[in-house]
Amino acid sequence: DTAVSQTPKYLVTQMGNDKSIKCEQNLGHDTMYWYKQDSKKFLKIMFSYNNKELIINETVPNRFSPKSPDKAHLNLHINSLELGDSAVYFCASSRGGSQETQYFGPGTRLLVL
Amino acid sequence: GDSVTQMEGPVTLSEEAFLTINCTYTATGYPSLFWYVQYPGEGLQLLLKATKADDKGSNKGFEATYRKETTSFHLEKGSVQVSDSAVYFCALIGRGGSNYKLTFGKGTLLTVNP
């Protein structure tokens, strides 16, 4: 069984469109995250939820909106896609806590044309 | 704020060579330290971690020791294999509060040739 899964794996879309990426974890974790990896492989936190409550919201455009319907799911909706949004988006989960390992999904490769 | 500086790559080695990837950090207090590995086209996997000073994390022949005095967490392996070719990320989680975000270094691409 996949611990952290994301759909879709690849997403190719036009500028201006709205798209969503879904993430699910079956590890029973309380905390979930979204990270963005740019073309140079640099990884940066975007959002974090703990028990469906937003606890981290880094400097991310308002066009990005996370939604957590329950503890096992954290979705990312992106409005009015721009060329610069092209990246790999990773979902992760953990038990929360500074010593806990974060488990990553396989990533969603978004290409905006 | 917290930051991680790691050796810029790419690093190219022959099979069975010794590997060191340097990593230093800046953080308030004593963070937890991690090495993650990303194989081509895949997500990140935890390679090893250490949560307090002088701890040594180890896995699959890789080791790293949490050095508080030099704020370092260098990754080493005595004999690399072709299958170790990947991007390696040093990362930390700071202490305090409920902010458990990973702060990553820029990654080091390792290529091991047969």
The per-residue pLDDT for range B43-74, each reduced to its tens digit, is 999 999 999 999 999 999 999 999 999 999 99
Window 1-30 of A, Cβ < 8 Å to B: 4
Distance between CA atoms of residues B81 and B111, nearest Å: 9
pLDDT at residue B9 in the model: 85
Q: Is B45 on the interface with A (CB under 8 A)?
A: yes
Amino acid at B59: N
| B63-73: b (≥16 Cβ within 10 Å) or e | bbbbeeeebbb
Q: Do B100 and A101 touch (CB under 8 A)?
A: no
The per-residue pLDDT for range A37-74, each reduced to its tens digit, is 999 999 999 999 888 888 888 878 999 999 999 999 99
- Is pLDDT of A110 > 80? yes
**Which residues are B19's β-sheet partners?**
B77
Which residue in chain A has the smallest CA separation from B87?
A: A41
Least confident interval from A11-20, A95-104, B54-63: A95-104
Q: What is the DSSP letter of B84?
A: G
Token pair of B1, please? 């704020």
- Overall average pLDDT of the A17-23 stretch: 97
Which residue in chain B has the smallest CA separation from A102?
A: B46
Q: Compute the mean pLDDT over every residue in chain B, rounded to the nearest whole number.
A: 94
pLDDT at residue B113 in the model: 96
